[in-house]
Amino acid sequence: MTHAALPSSTEAVSGMFLVDKPGGMTSHDVVARIRRKFGFSRVGHGGTLDPMATGVLPVFVGKSTRLAEVIHGYDKTYRFEVLFGLTTDTGDAEGKILFRKDFDRVDLSLLATVLPTFLGERFQKPPMYSAVKKNGVPLYQLARKGIEIERDARRIQVYSLDLLEVSADGKKALFRLKCSKGTYVRTIAEEIGEAIGLGAHVTLLEREGFGHFLIEDAISLTDLMNFDNEDGILKHLWTTSEVLSYLPEIRILDAHLSEIHRGAVIPGFQIYRTSGLFNLSELVRISDRKGKCIAVGKASVSSLELDRLPKGLPVVRVDRLVGGGL
């Protein structure tokens, strides 16, 4: 991973820390600690994690806070542990017990039959204990007052749901879930428990992947806090280009960089080169000739059409400037 040099002021720094969030903290707590430690005025995170959850949390600083919206749609991978025979009002170990059922051991053959039914596109209602807002009020605030309201189901996608292991006493099971944005693991766990007639709640939750961001590439919050400004930023700050490396790229000729602004249309004659394939309306990263990402845009054509199009026709429209862009 390459790194930008550290300016004299953190005001000029942009990028992302990939943090392995510890349990017992909110995502906002992590942001607040990084702000205090390094003196950033602009800090934000992508993909909220429950306080009990651990794992991948992208934390953006400077102008790169704009990237939080860009990565919002990334798919996620979770590893989670479920305790059967016990349901709670929050769907995890921090809630009040609602139901208890005695049983010997979880039926593995029944579990193997149930898990495939979760795959594919489905609808899921956000739990009351969630940050989803209704008329501007987070649902968890209503839930704490004992108020439950109707929630609209959202379309989600479950790509895989695998059983990893079962505890020696047969009461717990460990799973790995790959899913689309907006999927609540606690709800999946509750539905698994309901499907096998036992009830269940989550006792452990780790986000292993967030798009192409993986847990093995993340730094623990404790380790990050132990670095001084220079070491911490130079060793662990991802550049905008690295954050968006999964996107196909369009590099712009130097003479036209001053014309890049939100809403600008980039015609073919301004392009130095492209890499990667893209279809109409897909996101692309827009870089200077040397590969420094300056913006994100939406393709106006397919990459397969580029060679056949007149050079004056639009190829991409700038959606937003990012990083240290113009």
- Residue 217: active-site member: no
Residue range 76-210 forms a domain whose CATH class is alpha beta
pLDDT surpassing 60 at residue 6? no
Q: pLDDT confidence of 220, banded at 50, 70, 90? A: very high
Q: pLDDT confidence of 10, banded at 50, 70, 90? A: low
pLDDT score at 2? 44
pLDDT score at 129? 79
CB 267 within 8 A of CB 312: yes
Structure tokens at 168: 């020696």
Give the mean pLDDT of 187-201.
97
CATH architecture of 247-321: Roll (2.30)
User: Which of 50, 89, 288, 319 does the annotation list as catalytic?
Assistant: 50
Helix, coil or strand: residue 267:
strand
Indicate the domain borders of the chain: 10-73+212-242, 76-210, 247-321
pLDDT surpassing 90 at residue 135? no
pLDDT score at 210? 96
Least confident stretch, 201-215, 222-236, 302-316 = 222-236
Q: Which residues, in sequence order, are CB contacts of 234 under 8 Å at separation 6+?
A: 3, 5, 6
pLDDT surpassing 80 at residue 9? no
CATH architecture of 10-73+212-242: 2-Layer Sandwich (3.30)
Contacts 24+ apart (CB under 8 A), 97-103: 99/199, 100/199, 101/198, 101/199, 103/198
Q: What is the pLDDT of residues 69-105, one digit of tens each?
A: 888 889 999 999 999 999 999 999 989 999 999 999 9
What average pLDDT is seen over the chain? 90
Give the mean pLDDT of 129-150.
80
Q: What is the pLDDT of residues 233-288, one digit of tens each?
A: 778 899 888 999 889 999 999 999 999 999 999 999 999 999 999 999 999 999 99
Q: Which of 64, 66, 100, 59 is nearest to 83 (CA)?
A: 100
pLDDT score at 128? 79
pTM summary value: 0.88
10-73+212-242 and 76-210 agree in CATH topology: yes
Using a pLDDT cut of 70, give the percent of the chain over it. 94
> Beta strand pairing status for 265-267 and 314-321?
antiparallel
> Beta strand pairing status for 15-21 and 219-220?
parallel
